[in-house]
Structure 1
Amino acid sequence: MNHPVNDLLADCKLAPYWWDDVPRPAIVEAALPGAVDVAVVGAGYTGLHAALQTARGQRSTLVLDAEEAGWGCSTRNGGQVSTSIKPGFDPLARRHGATRAFEILKEGQRSLAFIGDFIRSERIDCDFGAVGRFHAAHNAVQYEALARRVGAQPKGLEVEAHMVPRAEQRSELGSDAYWGGAVYTQHCSVHPARYHQGLLERALEAGVQVAPRTPVARIERQGDRFLVHTARGNVLARDVVVATNGYTGAATPWLQRRVIPIGSYMIATEELPPGLMDRLIPKNRIVSDTRKVVYYYRASPDRRRILFGGRVSHQETDPRASAPRLHADMAKVFPELAGTRISHSWCGFVAYTFDELMHVGKHDGMHYAMGYCGAGVGTSSYFGMRVGQQVLGLAEGRTALDGLAFQTRPLYSGNPWFLAPSVLYYRWRDRCSF
């Protein structure tokens, strides 16, 4: 039975589902200090973790954000946490050598361990759990490729994983849309806005000053200091950390040329009938698939809704336009949801890079960490923490990504004109057996 789009969207909120539980924080707008030890641009996971380190290291720390704290992808993501490094060992070894490839992948594993340890040690109530990921193969060729990767993991980089053939798929996922898949048992889920709120509270308790609605216009080098120009006045800082990821703009043009902002879109269903979730996602896994233009989805923490995300268009669109497209894709996976209404539709910008690696480093004296390629809940937290340690001059702040060339392309200035043809190409590949 076909359901008109207007029926599906009748009561849809164009805001993240997560904000129902955790509205954007109302931080009192205080006067900006004239000078600080550390100015952090961006109040998401990366910026707040860096700020928490520097404030606890007795450095006066100011975090600036153009919007409310956490307004960007830190509270818009799907709450899926993995080891997050996209390239495998072989391509990384070809680029950087076997030793560095090993350490880069180890950093991904460390990021997964770090976020769990941090949440537990800081006692943040954010529905965090090691639920495991079902990574579904969208065709038979991809299932075999996935099985080879699981069966031949590089020594020292092994993670707990096992294959689930198509005949047994419904033990993991109530769908016949895939050809089986792999279960990564240590991957986790989290309520991203609750996690961000807990992190924000820890930062404020440590003495961090957070200035929302304070866009940075430019950053000017003045000897061994930086003059940060904002819409509300200027601040002199000894150190600057840029933590803007998919929202990196003209204030830092060198970085803007090196990240590719890509919209990622999500919907939440209305509450489902009792018992249905036990058929659709029986083990409460987070789910992704092997498409290059990927889908990712999960049950809400209370297991009453499906949260379904992906890229729905070769160009950027708005949440009202993306909602029915995502709903149609969701119904292909779960035909039982064809008539289910959408309660929320939203989007956020992730940052890809030309080598599909996140990057950590310094340019013109300013620290940065960004480019998480759509898998940044764990890595943005971990590398934000490491950057904070680097600002403090601590040896443990070193990472395997330090000093890697941060690539750009000729004529690229931050507007990804090539995105539409790239998405069309990868959608074609996803339909074929590559």
Structure 2
Amino acid sequence: MSDQAIFTEDFKTTPYWWEAAPPETCRDPLPAETEIAIVGSGFAGLNAAIELARHGKKVVVLEANELGSGGSTRTGGMISSGQKLVVGGAIKGIPPELFQRMIADSIASFAFIQDLVREEQLDADLFIGGRYFGAHTQKQLAGLYQMGDILHRVTGVTVHKIDRATQAPIIGSDFYHGGILVDEYGGVHPGKYNRALRDLARKLGAQLFSHARVTGVETEGGSKVIYTERGTLRARQVIFLTNGYTDAQASPNLAKRIVPVKSYQIATEPLPPELMAKLIPGGRMITDSRRDLIYTRPSPDGTRLLFGSRPGIMDCDDKTAAIRIRQRMLAIWPELAPYRISHAWSGYVGMTWDKTAYAGEMDNARFAVGCNGNGVALMSWLGYRAAQKLLGTEPRPLSFERNTFKPIPLYAGKPWFLPLVTGWYRFRDAVDKARD
């Protein structure tokens, strides 16, 4: 099949998630003032707005583009309870007592999103069915088993050690040498979840505005002056919850500490039910042990496969990326070769120097950023906790609020070093595979 033939006739370079829940435009005039202004309409910003509005605060949410068009609706929609802190290597550089508090907050974020969806009856396609970490090499299988032991000990999750001969009920492929299955993992439909949060925030009285890019915040007297591309407003407090979309003009110091890393995904056209049942029999989330890893899952309705990865060392347009990512998908499931790609899209993940989230005050505002590829539950929780901080209702100090958030050396908002990092990751993955 030629490169152009792999795409459906109605192929789109927009997220598959937007088919069911597209972003919104709201160009109503901005108010002259409000109590609290939130920058960003992602999971963090909307959860902060919901908590503040629930307590009677006048809240305005300002979004640079369409409401719900940023990273939150471009994600894979996977949720977990602290595994990323262990898997990502953060455990190596954090004092044990602080790490335990971070794990507690991460576990709380997993419970928070489930409770929120169920109690508010949000239309979000919540699914808790587990996630499989596949071993790319035989040596990495032993490492995954060790990581599973740490995950169980540190976070309390249920971990199953799987070998290659017994992984067929989890993944219909011999690509992996086995792996670990973590039960306390799941997913949501990120488009629907964001839309449900927007609806709830409005129901509680929050005002949401699109196409109102913030260009700066100044403190004047006892209030904040917020400059946007649609005018100026005043607020008592401002919260930046922009993560991988942090603007250097609006928040220059914060932008020096958060790196936007582009993540790409594709969606297949609808697949035969019997094929879907073979690819991922339990409908679980799937990832692997590579440094330059992949992540994949069925669509919530079980009709398509969604597959995410970096396309190579350099960033590229979404259609070009789809051609390359499809090859990584076919390496795992060659039987997908006859099927076409209906959607290809990308979004920015907010990465920090030590792979952990941060919260605090900077650039005349509060902030919470740093999902590090694990933002659906965590950023929802951080938005909620940022609101509690302003309300004075937080039950205990947030572990991610630390004074160690360092600017990244030689970095001013343009991640020039990403091709070097990606190239190094791919080189080491290739060496590991050659030695297998």
TM-score range, shorter chain: over 0.9
Which residue pairs with 1:324 in the alignment? 323
Which residue pairs with 2:235 in the alignment? 237
SS at match of 1:275: helix
Which residue pairs with 1:43 in the alignment? 41
Asked if 2 retains the 8 angstrom alpha-carbon contact of 1:84 and 1:376, the reply is no
SS at match of 2:61: strand
Post-superposition shift, 1:404?
Answer: 4.1
Which residue pairs with 1:130 in the alignment? 128
Asked if 2 retains the 8 angstrom alpha-carbon contact of 1:136 and 1:289, the reply is yes
CA deviations 1:372-431 (Å, max 9, x no partner) are 011100101011100011111223263111124112223211101111011000111122
Asked if 1 retains the 8 angstrom alpha-carbon contact of 2:24 and 2:210, the reply is no
After TM superposition, the structure 1 stretch with the greater mean CA deviation from structure 2, 91-100 or 369-378, is 91-100
The one-letter amino acid of 2:141's match is Y
SS at match of 1:174: coil
**Partners of 1:94 and 1:261 in 2: how far apart?**
23
Which residue pairs with 1:56 in the alignment? 54
SS at match of 2:127: coil
Aligned pair in 2 of structure 1 residues 156, 267: CA closer, same or farther (>3 Å)?
closer
**Partners of 2:219 and 2:201 in 1: how far apart?**
27
Post-superposition shift, 1:221?
Answer: 1.6
Asked if 1 retains the 8 angstrom alpha-carbon contact of 2:35 and 2:58, the reply is yes
**Partners of 2:425 and 2:82 in 1: how far apart?**
20
**Partners of 1:156 and 1:426 in 2: how far apart?**
27
Alignment of 1:17-416 (within 5 A): 17-27=16-26, 29-84=27-82, 86-88=84-86, 95-153=93-151, 155=153, 157-249=155-247, 250-396=249-395, 398-416=397-415
Post-superposition shift, 1:85?
Answer: 5.3
Post-superposition shift, 1:89?
Answer: 9.6
- Taking structure 2 as the reference length, the TM-score comes to 0.95
Displacement over 4 Å in runs of 4+: 89-94, 152-156
Post-superposition shift, 1:204?
Answer: 0.5
SS at match of 1:369: strand
Which residue pairs with 2:419 in the alignment? 420
Post-superposition shift, 1:257?
Answer: 0.4
SS at match of 1:124: coil
Asked if 2 retains the 8 angstrom alpha-carbon contact of 1:89 and 1:154, the reply is no
Asked if 2 retains the 8 angstrom alpha-carbon contact of 1:389 and 1:397, the reply is no
**Partners of 1:44 and 1:120 in 2: how far apart?**
20
CA deviations 1:39-88 (Å, max 9, x no partner) are 10001101111111111121111000011111011111111111255343
**Partners of 2:83 and 2:354 in 1: how far apart?**
11
Asked if 2 retains the 8 angstrom alpha-carbon contact of 1:369 and 1:384, the reply is yes
Aligned pair in 2 of structure 1 residues 52, 142: CA closer, same or farther (>3 Å)?
same
After TM superposition, the structure 1 stretch with the greater mean CA deviation from structure 2, 404-413 or 270-279, is 404-413
Post-superposition shift, 1:105?
Answer: 1.4
**Partners of 1:395 and 1:186 in 2: how far apart?**
26
**Partners of 1:157 and 1:403 in 2: how far apart?**
22
C-alpha RMSD of the superposition = 1.7
Give the unaligned 5+ runs of structure 2. Answer: none
SS at match of 2:28: coil
Asked if 2 retains the 8 angstrom alpha-carbon contact of 1:267 and 1:309, the reply is yes
Asked if 2 retains the 8 angstrom alpha-carbon contact of 1:51 and 1:203, the reply is yes
Asked if 2 retains the 8 angstrom alpha-carbon contact of 1:93 and 1:100, the reply is no
Asked if 2 retains the 8 angstrom alpha-carbon contact of 1:246 and 1:260, the reply is yes
SS at match of 1:348: strand
**Partners of 1:124 and 1:333 in 2: how far apart?**
34
Asked if 2 retains the 8 angstrom alpha-carbon contact of 1:261 and 1:350, the reply is yes
Asked if 2 retains the 8 angstrom alpha-carbon contact of 1:92 and 1:98, the reply is no
CA deviations 1:72-124 (Å, max 9, x no partner) are 11111111111255343996566442111111112111111111011001101
Aligned pair in 2 of structure 1 residues 175, 408: CA closer, same or farther (>3 Å)?
same
**Partners of 1:255 and 1:70 in 2: how far apart?**
22
**Partners of 1:119 and 1:19 in 2: how far apart?**
19
Asked if 1 retains the 8 angstrom alpha-carbon contact of 2:82 and 2:155, the reply is no
Aligned pair in 2 of structure 1 residues 305, 156: CA closer, same or farther (>3 Å)?
closer
**Partners of 1:93 and 1:310 in 2: how far apart?**
24
The one-letter amino acid of 1:37's match is E
Aligned pair in 2 of structure 1 residues 416, 90: CA closer, same or farther (>3 Å)?
closer
**Partners of 2:88 and 2:193 in 1: how far apart?**
34
Could you tell me the percent identity over the aligned residues?
A: 36
Give the unaligned 5+ runs of structure 1. Answer: none
SS at match of 2:428: helix
**Partners of 1:348 and 1:90 in 2: how far apart?**
20
**Partners of 1:10 and 1:237 in 2: how far apart?**
48
**Partners of 2:71 and 2:90 in 1: how far apart?**
27
Aligned pair in 2 of structure 1 residues 302, 88: CA closer, same or farther (>3 Å)?
closer
The one-letter amino acid of 1:139's match is T
Post-superposition shift, 1:156?
Answer: 5.7
**Partners of 1:277 and 1:271 in 2: how far apart?**
9
